[in-house]
């Protein structure tokens, strides 16, 4: 392989223009997840981030020294200001979801999320970290180029054609790479430990009472099932980290990954973690397939509505549809 062909492949991968539909859909799901994250934090907002929080700001800064993007260390230390920060974060997440002033709000959401995590790093999970990192790349992505109020406004003003214009996907690629690295690192960390290789890891996971959500059927505790489960998780994480880039395998792996995360969502109580990770799956779906999926969904909804209307007419007038 020559240097020029490597350069051509690089440019093709990061910069060959494509539909911004996947990144726009990701923006919406991402925004909803940030809103839900904030909603779950709301009842304990001041307990975690207030002046008299579980972890004081001086201790947080002592434990994580150096320059950090943390609005909590800039704003005046009063609960009123800390409350205001919550509403700024929420408002920017709502506007980002709607796609209004998308770029500005993606910056605001990133700064707020980073500040929240830096203020208390000891209550965050991997999904929070993924949201923060994806949020950084979302700033540079054409996230408002489709499915956004910004686009509606631009079309009305005659500044943009009605057909969605292709854009450079480099920022989307960075989020995709982030996701695949995450799976690969998870795989590499797990294979260092004997329980995953011996196939006993899930036994311990399922017996952590504080993590349990819904009851797990007894057959899942059979040693052979536990071994198969542990090894399958390893194989899947490796595949989602590496083989996801093979186009022919991608959709099969995404489907398996979806089932894997839904099972974890059922069995383990780690709020929003699975959805944070699954949100980036849309970035691996081809824009044409997304459009087809959207059209199929719309047709299904219209049919459902028509059947509902017919049944309603029957109920009111007592006549059968012709």
Binding site for other proteins (CB under 8 A): 40-41, 43-44, 48, 52-56, 59, 62-63, 120, 122-125, 200, 203-204, 207-213, 221-223, 226, 269-271
- Rg for the chain, CA atoms, rounded: 23
- Closest contact distance (angstroms) between CB of 22 and other proteins is 29
User: Please, which residue, 198 or 295, has the CB nearer to other proteins?
Assistant: 198
3-state secondary structure at position 144: coil
- Closest contact distance (angstroms) between CB of 196 and other proteins is 14
CB 145 within 8 A of CB 154: no
- Closest contact distance (angstroms) between CB of 7 and other proteins is 45
User: Please, which residue, 214 or 317, has the CB nearer to other proteins?
Assistant: 214
- Closest contact distance (angstroms) between CB of 150 and other proteins is 33
Residue found under tokens 């062909």: 5
Residue found under tokens 């990770």: 277
User: Please, which residue, 212 or 261, has the CB nearer to other proteins?
Assistant: 212
User: Please, which residue, 122 or 181, has the CB nearer to other proteins?
Assistant: 122
User: Please, which residue, 26 or 130, has the CB nearer to other proteins?
Assistant: 130
Instruction: Look up residue 175 and give its two tokens.
Output: 């989020």
- Closest contact distance (angstroms) between CB of 53 and other proteins is 7
Number of residues that make up the chain: 322
User: Please, which residue, 10 or 54, has the CB nearer to other proteins?
Assistant: 54
Query: What are the contacts of 240-248 at 24+ separation with CB within 8 A?
Result: 240/179, 240/180, 240/183, 241/180, 241/181, 241/182, 241/183, 241/184, 241/185, 241/186, 241/187, 242/180, 242/184, 244/180, 244/183, 244/284, 245/180
What DSSP line would sit under 220-246, residue for residue? Answer: GGSHHHHHHHHHHHHHHHHHHHHGGGS
- Closest contact distance (angstroms) between CB of 79 and other proteins is 14
CB 180 within 8 A of CB 243: no
3-state secondary structure at position 18: strand
User: Please, which residue, 122 or 302, has the CB nearer to other proteins?
Assistant: 122
- Closest contact distance (angstroms) between CB of 321 and other proteins is 43
Contacts with 10 (C-beta within 8 Å, 6 or more apart), sequence order: none
How many Å separate Cα 301 from the centre of its chain?
Answer: 26
- Closest contact distance (angstroms) between CB of 41 and other proteins is 8
User: Please, which residue, 221 or 294, has the CB nearer to other proteins?
Assistant: 221
């Amino acid at each position: 392989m020559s240097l020029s062909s490597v350069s051509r492949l690089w440019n093709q991968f990061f910069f060959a223009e494509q539909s911004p539909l996947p990144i726009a859909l990701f923006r919406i799901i991402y925004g909803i997840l940030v809103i839900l994250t904030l909603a779950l934090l709301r009842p304990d907002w001041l307990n975690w981030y207030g002046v008299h929080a579980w972890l004081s700001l001086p201790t947080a800064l002592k434990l994580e020294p150096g320059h950090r993007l943390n609005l909590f260390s800039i704003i005046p230390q009063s609960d009123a200001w800390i409350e205001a920060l919550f509403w700024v974060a929420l408002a920017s997440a709502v506007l980002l979801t709607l796609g209004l002033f998308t770029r500005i709000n993606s910056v605001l959401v990133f700064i707020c999320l980073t500040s929240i995590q830096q203020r208390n790093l000891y209550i965050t999970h991997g999904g929070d970290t993924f949201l923060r990192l994806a949020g950084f790349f979302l700033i540079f992505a054409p996230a408002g180029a489709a499915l956004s109020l910004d686009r509606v406004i631009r079309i009305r003003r005659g500044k943009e054609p009605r057909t969605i214009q292709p854009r450079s996907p480099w920022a989307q690629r960075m989020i995709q790479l982030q996701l695949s690295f995450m799976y690969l690192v998870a795989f590499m960390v797990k294979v260092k430990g004997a329980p995953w290789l011996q196939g006993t890891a899930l036994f311990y996971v399922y017996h952590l009472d504080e993590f349990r959500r819904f009851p797990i059927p007894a057959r899942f505790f059979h040693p052979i099932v536990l071994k198969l489960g542990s090894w399958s998780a390893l194989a899947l994480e490796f595949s989602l980290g590496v083989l996801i880039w093979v186009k022919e395998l991608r959709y099969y792996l995404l489907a398996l990954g979806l089932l894997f995360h839904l099972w974890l969502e059922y069995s383990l109580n780690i709020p929003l973690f699975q959805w944070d990770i699954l949100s980036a799956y849309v970035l691996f779906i081809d824009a044409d397939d997304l459009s087809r999926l959207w059209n199929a969904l719309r047709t299904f909804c219209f049919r459902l509505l028509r059947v509902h209307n017919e049944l309603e007419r029957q109920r009111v007038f007592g006549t059968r549809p012709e």
